[in-house]
Structure 1
């Protein structure tokens, strides 16, 4: 992996060190070019010049095929969504629920993989079984097994929670679910483009992910995987042109028997084309190489942060269970002040709650800073972050002991 060449594709790095991919990532220039090329053609040719429109829809089909290959699915099992949240909602609203059905999820789930199930609890009278996690943030699979009954319909889990950085044992969870004939939904928004994913080998039934994070696609892009045998069980939340057929003579309609059934209306062409280019870019580097590189940077980040007096690093203490996301605080320094000071020195990270209520309660905090390095980041950038935090301690009278 040639980091120097990769960084040339990021105009951002002419000014900033960007270490906040868990929020969203700056796309490579190639992704921007794909989007602007399309937009420029719509301006010069008109969006509905027949030959141009044919070319665009062919590229959309090609992107669907790219996305399916990227995660080991069939093209018929892939729907385009605007973000991971939309995909989760399409599953939550699309399945048929009965009062008393059970859904298992962990207490560490992000807002978007928690509130849709709360809505089902309130509207459909389903039962939510919440798995408690410890400070490691790693879900105990045995606790899931203990909660499964003959009314359990679905287990949903975030592959990599956005705040803790605790990589979950999704393969084991899917295996357990399959044993008990329970459906599985994986939120892969923090792992698409970061961790090799093969849905057939994983054994999940649904997988939803945005494209704007580790895949480095544009905002407004994402994919939803629906296992072929379950496609017809999903009633689309939205209906209209694109996902249905309409018989004018009988005045009847029917849903497509492919995952595209959940798409309604004109596709968001710029985002989809950008997504396809982002997939090409990641494949060219190799997701295995990306994963390996980020694992190395993750350990380096934790090790270097530990040299700061008064630092607390949250989430898994066993580095084997952590990937890419490193939340922390420094005694005597407000996390907002840390991010502000780093920004003043042209380094972008983030501070916030990250909607991680459980983690915040476990550690008795109300906010934290977060580093999330990607493959294009360097050890030198991490060193600079640590050095700046130490200088901030001295500047504000919180110097090294």
Structure 2
């Protein structure tokens, strides 16, 4: 069992705020930050001498993420964020006129914008299905929405507002039977509960480090199933971080590696790779089962506190169908956005939902007392 008081020593900023918005951005533990700073200092002060270390850190980070999601390291590429990784897939896939991308009616702009851009470019239409708290109804909605021109189903693993966990494995299986590819946005799942892309059966899985993995900002992850890499014709290329991975010759032109990291090119900071490897190692040391149990417990605490106040829960009550994102309708008065903006002035951080509710998203270092403080503040804001 994880002791939040022990953990909080690694998150000193928590002594100055009530932070329950990890679904937006998590906090990186101090030991990981120190190693990131050391990597940054070495790379910026050592010139070319740091290049080999930079490549090794990138490989170490790639191996850590691959291990986390049950993938091969060659299937993993790093970008600046999940939004960039989604763009890589949608812009690289060879849609034909009349093809359709199926997304939910409750998606993050990181998926809405790139898919809409494909429509605006005349490359694919965008169709929608409705997400329900009941996974069977969500699956039925996907099945009904897949048509003869659907080429890709692009979905969030966990819906960002009310924390609904979609039946991703069942959706991927359904799509595969219909000859449709699947892209899964795991921004709200990686680090919260176990993710195994082999068991899910997804073709493209995307995530980031800066939420539930407590890793560095500016680090996105793309996982491409090895037999799907050939379906992507990327729009931009360049030399990669290790000599010989991407090559060029006058006769043949650019030769890309047969790996997802063909999407990586140019110079970037090794600090994010050090931060990625160290953040994953930090959480691994705590134990993924213990982390999930802690988050499940905090969800139950939040739900009970919401019920005691007589407020309406917007999230599914059962962990298997939901997540650590817990949303509720605020009592009569101002809407969620106004409440969250007011509370932020007092360093109490929550998030409004699409339906003007309020969402709290505790992580392992949060406490039941902080949840009570935040909900009391919501009540006072409506007073």
Give TM-score, length-normalised by structure 1.
0.87
1:140-174 deviation line (CA, Å, top 9, x unaligned): 11221223334321111101111121111111111
Aligned residues: 378
Q: C-alpha displacement at 1:343, in angstroms? A: 4.2
Match of 1:369 among 345, 355, 358: 358
1:32-67 deviation line (CA, Å, top 9, x unaligned): 112100122234x42322xx3212211211111111
Q: How does 1:2-401 map to 2 (within 5 A)?
A: 2-43=3-44, 45-49=45-49, 52-134=50-132, 140-242=138-240, 245-250=246-251, 252-309=253-310, 311-316=311-316, 320-328=320-328, 329-336=330-337, 338-339=339-340, 342-343=343-344, 346-351=347-352, 353=353, 356=354, 360=355, 367-393=356-382, 398=383
- Distance across 1 between alignment mates of 2:305 and 2:294: 17
**Secondary structure of residue in 2 paired with 1:377:** coil
**Secondary structure of residue in 1 paired with 2:373:** helix
In 2, are the aligned partners of 1:159 and 1:168 still within 8 Å (CA)? yes
**Secondary structure of residue in 1 paired with 2:179:** coil
Is the deviation greater in 281-290 or in 334-343? 334-343
- CA, structure 1 residues 125+342, in 2 after alignment: closer, same or farther (shift >3 Å)? closer
**Secondary structure of residue in 2 paired with 1:145:** helix
In 2, are the aligned partners of 1:161 and 1:190 still within 8 Å (CA)? yes
5+ residue gaps, structure 2, are none
CA RMSD of aligned residues (A): 2.3
- Distance across 1 between alignment mates of 2:59 and 2:37: 19
In 2, are the aligned partners of 1:138 and 1:321 still within 8 Å (CA)? no
Residue 364 of structure 1 corresponds to none
